[in-house]
């Protein structure tokens, strides 16, 4: 009889819960209560509203690696992801404001419509080195002209509410995104692969465009995701980013590295109950990084609990017979 897969212990779960509710951000605390304790989705929306700006976009360090208060595609994408998880109705004011703001941020680049992650003014505020904009075009060069990341994930989520965009706009963005992915992703492009995986596995995206991206990722991901404990402990392409649940179409080809990733996730919880980020800002803005690192612990701890539950590794799942 095979040994039952290791699971999060009740004690470890309660340490994580205490961390989120006592030291985490209000947003992750509300999301935890909604996901695990039948908390009200309205509380999540209330906490999310604190990061919304009057223009409808989101900022205010919702994504902790950029401390600028201004609305940004980076932060608004995080808000849209949460609204997608909550499956808010199309008339939700947080959603409609965010989509209207996102539509206004689309820009033409080399004949394609893309979103730049950050406004230029964000460079004046503390941020991670990869968000530097000291040279003209630096951010676009860092992120491949924004052709896959952030566009692929945004397009995928927006297909939940296609009526919020002008006729034909979402279809055009979808075709451009598909073609950009199929031109090939750099093996080390962690977030590009994750965004492409969101696009390929979103049921709302028309299968005509989703299927070839899924085929491409099915082929390249097994050799690109982290497999070993050492690699999983460093910043890199964690297979759980590409297949966050067993129902994900990319889960079967990644079965072996996913098993290793789940083992590593269970082992990497810290004594205070949190999961820490496996990256830093180096010597850039050290005081601001201390705050960002605390906020990332809040985000990462919630993500760890949600992932373990999705894969049947949390305390709510009975042991295998």
pLDDT bin (cut points 50, 70, 90) of residue 316 is low
pLDDT at 3: 64
Average pLDDT score over residue span 6-13:
95
Predicted pLDDT of residue 315: 77
Q: How many CB atoms lie within 10 A of CB 6?
A: 11
Q: Which pLDDT band, with edges at 50, 70 and 90, does 267 fall under? A: very high
Say if CB 75 and CB 57 are below 8 A apart: yes
Q: What are phi and psi of 90, to 5 degrees?
A: -60, -25
Q: Which of 279, 270, 260, 256 is nearest to 301 (CA)?
A: 270
Average pLDDT over residues 77-93: 98
Q: Is pLDDT above 50 for 153?
A: yes
* Matching residue, tokens 């034909």: 168
- The pLDDT tens digits of the residues spanning 43-70 come to 999 999 999 999 999 999 999 999 999 9
Amino acid 314: pLDDT: 86
Q: Given this model, what pLDDT does residue 2 score?
A: 54
Alpha-carbon gap, residue 192 to 25, rounded angstroms: 27
Do residues 185 and 200 touch, judged by C-beta distance below 8 A? no
Mapping DSSP onto H, E and C, the string for the chain reads CCCCCCCCCHHHHHHHHHHHHHHCCHHHHHHHHHHHCCCCHHHHHHHHHCCECCCCCECCCCCCCECCCCCCHHHHHHHHHHHHHHCCCCCCHHHHHHHHHHHHHCEEECCEEECCCCCHHHHHCCECHHHCCCCCCHHHHHCHHHCCCCHHHHHHHHCCCHHHCCCCHHHHHHHHHHHHHHCCCCCCCHHHHHHHHHHHHCCCCCHHHHHHHHHHHHHHHHHHCCCCHHHHHCCCCCHHHHCCCCCCCCCHHHHHHHHHHHHHHHHCCCCCCCCCCCCCCCCCCHHHHHHHHHHHHHHHHHHHHHHHHHCCCCCCCCCCC
Per the prediction, the chain carries an average pLDDT of: 96
pLDDT value of position 317:
45
Residue 283 has φ and ψ, to the nearest 5°, of -95, 5
| Mean per-residue pLDDT, 208-237 | 97
pLDDT at 6 over 60: yes
65 neighbors 292 (Cβ within 8 angstroms): yes
pLDDT at 321: 32
- Averaged pLDDT for residues 182-210: 97
Q: What is the mean pLDDT of residues 23-51?
A: 98
Q: How far apart are CA 79 and CA 71, in angstroms?
A: 11
Share of the chain above pLDDT 90, in %: 95
| Max intra-chain CA distance, the chain | 61
- Tell which wins on pLDDT, 317 or 253: 253
Mean pLDDT within 132-138? 95
Phi, psi of 63 (to 5 degrees): -95, 110
Q: Comparing 7-11, 44-48, 313-317, which segment has the lowest mean pLDDT?
A: 313-317
Residue 320 has pLDDT above 50, yes or no: no
Instruction: Give the pLDDT band of residue 318 (cuts 50, 70, 90).
Output: very low
Split at pLDDT 50, 70, 90, the class of 5 is confident
What whole-number distance in Å separates Cα of residue 284 and Cα of residue 289? 8
Ordered by start, the domain boundaries in the chain are 23-242
Question: What is the band of 227 on the pLDDT scale with cuts at 50, 70, 90?
Answer: very high
């Amino acid at each position: 009889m095979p040994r039952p897969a290791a699971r999060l212990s009740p004690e470890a779960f309660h340490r994580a819960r205490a961390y989120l509710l006592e030291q985490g951000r209000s947003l992750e605390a509300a999301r935890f209560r909604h996901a695990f304790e039948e908390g009200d989705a309205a509380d999540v929306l209330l906490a999310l509203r604190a990061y919304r700006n009057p223009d409808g976009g989101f900022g205010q360090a919702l994504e902790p690696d950029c401390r600028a208060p201004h609305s940004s595609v980076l932060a608004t994408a995080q808000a849209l992801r949460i609204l997608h998880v909550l499956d808010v109705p199309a008339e939700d004011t947080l959603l409609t404001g965010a989509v209207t703001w996102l539509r206004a941020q689309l820009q033409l680049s080399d004949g394609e419509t893309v979103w730049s992650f950050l406004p230029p003014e964000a460079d004046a505020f503390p941020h991670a080195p990869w968000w530097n904009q000291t040279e003209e075009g630096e951010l676009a060069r860092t992120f491949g002209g924004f052709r896959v990341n952030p566009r692929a994930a945004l397009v995928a989520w927006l297909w939940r509410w296609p009526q919020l965009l002008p006729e034909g706009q979402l279809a055009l963005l979808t075709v451009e995104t598909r073609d950009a992915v199929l031109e090939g992703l750099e093996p080390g492009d962690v977030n590009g692969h994750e965004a492409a995986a969101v696009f390929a596995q979103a049921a709302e995206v028309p299968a005509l465009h989703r299927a070839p991206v899924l085929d491409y990722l099915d082929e390249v991901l097994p050799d690109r995701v982290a497999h070993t404990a050492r690699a999983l402990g460093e910043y890199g392409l964690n297979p759980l980013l590409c297949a966050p649940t067993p129902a994900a179409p990319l889960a079967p080809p990644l079965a072996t590295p996913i098993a290793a990733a789940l083992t590593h996730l269970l082992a990497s919880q810290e004594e205070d109950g949190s999961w820490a980020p496996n990256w830093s800002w180096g010597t850039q803005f050290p005081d601001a990084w201390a705050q960002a690192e605390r906020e990332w612990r809040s985000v990462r701890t919630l993500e760890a609990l949600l992932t373990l539950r999705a894969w049947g590794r949390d305390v709510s799942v009975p042991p295998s017979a």
